[in-house]
Amino acid sequence: MSDSHEPRLVHLFTDGACSGNPGPGGWAYILRDLRTGHEQERSGAEVETTNNRMELMAVIEGLQALKRRCQVELFTDSVYVGKGLSEWMPKWKSNNWQRREGARKWVPVKNVELWQQLDALSAQHNVHYTRVAGHSGHPENDRCDELAVAAYRRLGDPPAAPA
């Protein structure tokens, strides 16, 4: 039997970075096909964003790059992304994308449009989250950080405020 119908195993390394929170930010991913060894690096930036949004964008962009169903091992230093995927998202979905704040108050999930996009993309694949320590010598995580920082730095300095 051919392996053409079995999901391909890929590693997705991601990171987001922000200069200020909010401020200019960047995201980056490295996608590695374990069967072929092929790698793809991509990065991007936004002028005014947050670190959490950039962490989410890195994963979203990486998953969007996949052309067919894959078994994805996601490596990220973002506890926000990892716990969101593995623990919080099922509860948010069952509560109509709301979370508890305090004893009685329900509020919309922050970055809900990105979480919903990530939910739809992760449903197309078998995604497993592995946490890596940031800035600890993990080669792919360090490379993603380097790419994300370079991406927002390419935006240049923001215009000076009028005097």
**Catalytic-labelled residue, pool 46, 55, 61, 140:** 55
Maximum Cα–Cα distance across the chain: 71
CB contact at 8 A, 35 and 9: yes
Catalytic-residue membership of 11:
no
Q: In Å, how far from its chain's centre is CA 98? A: 20
**Catalytic-labelled residue, pool 61, 77, 82, 125:** 77
Catalytic-residue membership of 135:
yes
Q: How far apart are CA 80 and CA 56, in angstroms?
A: 9
Catalytic-residue membership of 3:
no
Catalytic-residue membership of 39:
no
**Catalytic-labelled residue, pool 46, 61, 140, 145:** 145
Catalytic-residue membership of 145:
yes
Q: How far apart are CA 129 and CA 77, in angstroms?
A: 10
Catalytic-residue membership of 138:
no
Of 53, 10, 66, 70, residue with least CA distance to 35: 10
* Residues known to be catalytic: 15-16, 55, 77, 135, 145
